[in-house]
């Protein structure tokens, strides 16, 4: 073999050796890189996911996420279902059983529970019963005691229905309690159902004006409740299609609706017929003023001397003294309520 050929072969072998070493280095390096990436990538993606998850997202709710009662037809126990249905019937047709022509007793004014608790106590912001089962028994400032559901029902019989309470062990009381407990059975204990109670409206900067309210009543309320507020009886004459808003057959002056704020909130989002919390037909001022008109009309008077044992717990719109402040009784009844509210807010901060 010639010397030049030998040098050429030696050069090729050396280059091949170098390429082999470089290839091995690349392969080993790539292997270590892949091993490291296997440990790093999951952490990268995990950290990224955590960062995304920890970003405060706006709460997405269904359009209709208000409380709704469970379906009575789903009750499998026939005896329980019958009792719940009877309770619903008593709420809808109270006067049929306890009105002036009642089949059980003549102990009320002829109004029905659902005249105030709309659609048998199931309407959103219509004084519904959604939170009854989850919050009773509870301490109420009006009585200063822990009240049961039967006690609360009898309060309505004595005040809103201007009658007398039921025997708390009667079948009728048991049925009404069973109905309220069932329709609120999906609400967690201690929680309030969304849409229960009455939706708030802001106070006016002035006192309510009953004279303005009279005009609003004539234009938007009198066609159903009649010009003199006497309501309209059913064809049978034993109940009301449209309840009386004042006069001898209406709620007495110890009822919750006799408080101006309660009446204003109630009519704002429920009246005239067809109004809802999403599409009210009255302005805030109209609601306040018509409340002032209705609640300055004559109605039954009934006193409960044990009410409000702690007068500092009275609502600022409670229409009767004494009070734990120096504001006059008229202002507590008709407003303006802002100064009274401010007084108690400042007092609580001291």
User: How would residue 349 be classed by pLDDT, with cut points 50, 70 and 90?
Assistant: confident
pLDDT at 60 over 60: no
Determine contact, residues 338/350, Cβ cutoff 8 Å: no
Q: What is the mean pLDDT of residues 208-232?
A: 99
Q: What is the mean pLDDT of residues 23-50?
A: 44
Q: In this structure, which topology does domain 210-349 adopt according to CATH? A: Cytochrome Bc1 Complex; Chain D, domain 2 (1.10.760)
**Sequence-distant (≥ 6) Cβ neighbours of residue 292 within 8 angstroms:** 207, 208, 209, 210, 213, 260, 334
Helix %, strand %, coil % of the chain (to 5): 50, 5, 50
**Sequence-distant (≥ 6) Cβ neighbours of residue 312 within 8 angstroms:** 324
Q: What is the mean pLDDT of residues 291-316?
A: 98
Half-sphere exposure (Cβ direction) of 76: Cα atoms closer than 13 Å: 0
* Interval 120-172: pLDDT, tens: 999 999 999 999 999 999 999 999 999 999 999 999 999 999 999 999 999 99
Cα→Cα distances 219→215, 246, 270, 271, Å: 6, 17, 16, 12
| pLDDT value of residue 6 | 52
Global pTM value: 0.81
* Interval 107-123: pLDDT, tens: 999 999 999 999 999 99
User: How would residue 350 be classed by pLDDT, with cut points 50, 70 and 90?
Assistant: confident
- Domain assignments of the chain as residue spans, ordered by start: 1-54, 72-183, 210-349
User: How would residue 56 be classed by pLDDT, with cut points 50, 70 and 90?
Assistant: very low
* Interval 29-38: pLDDT, tens: 544 444 444 4
Q: Judge if 72-183 and 210-349 fold alike in CATH terms.
A: yes
pLDDT at 61 over 50: no
Q: In this structure, which topology does domain 72-183 adopt according to CATH? A: Cytochrome Bc1 Complex; Chain D, domain 2 (1.10.760)
User: How would residue 218 be classed by pLDDT, with cut points 50, 70 and 90?
Assistant: very high
| pLDDT value of residue 38 | 43
Determine contact, residues 158/255, Cβ cutoff 8 Å: no
């Amino acid at each position: 073999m010639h010397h030049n050929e030998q040098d050429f072969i030696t050069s090729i072998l050396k280059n091949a050796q170098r390429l082999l070493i470089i290839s091995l280095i690349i392969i080993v390096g790539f292997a270590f890189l892949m091993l490291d990436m296997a440990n790093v990538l999951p952490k990268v993606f995990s950290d990224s996911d955590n960062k995304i998850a920890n970003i405060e997202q706006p709460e997405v709710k269904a359009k209709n996420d208000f409380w709704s009662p469970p379906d009575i037809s789903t009750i499998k126990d026939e005896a329980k279902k019958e009792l719940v249905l009877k309770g619903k019937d008593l709420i809808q047709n109270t006067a049929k059983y306890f009105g002036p022509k009642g089949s059980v007793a003549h102990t009320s004014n002829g109004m029905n529970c659902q005249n105030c608790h709309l659609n048998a106590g199931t309407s959103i912001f219509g004084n519904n019963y959604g939170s009854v089962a989850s919050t009773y028994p509870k301490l109420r400032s009006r009585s200063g005691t822990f009240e049961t559901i039967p006690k609360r029902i009898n309060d309505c019989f004595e005040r809103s229905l201007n009658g007398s309470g039921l025997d708390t062990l009667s079948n009728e009381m048991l049925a009404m309690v069973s109905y309220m407990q069932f329709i609120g059975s999906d609400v967690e204990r201690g929680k309030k159902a969304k849409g229960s109670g009455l939706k708030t409206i802001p106070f006016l900067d002035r006192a309510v004006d009953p004279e303005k309210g009279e005009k609003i009543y004539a234009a938007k309320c009198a066609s159903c409740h009649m010009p003199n507020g006497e309501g309209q009886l059913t064809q049978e004459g034993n109940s009301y299609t449209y309840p009386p808003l004042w006069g001898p057959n209406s709620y007495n002056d110890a009822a919750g609706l006799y408080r101006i704020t309660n009446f204003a909130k109630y009519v704002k989002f429920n009246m005239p017929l067809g109004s809802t919390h999403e599409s009210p037909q009255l302005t805030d001022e109209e609601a306040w003023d018509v409340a002032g008109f209705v609640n300055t009309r004559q109605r039954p008077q009934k006193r409960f001397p044990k009410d409000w044992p702690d007068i500092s717990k009275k609502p600022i719109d409670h229409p009767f003294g004494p009070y734990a402040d120096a504001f006059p009784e008229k202002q507590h009844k008709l407003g303006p309520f802002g100064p009274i509210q401010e007084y108690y807010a400042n007092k609580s901060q001291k």
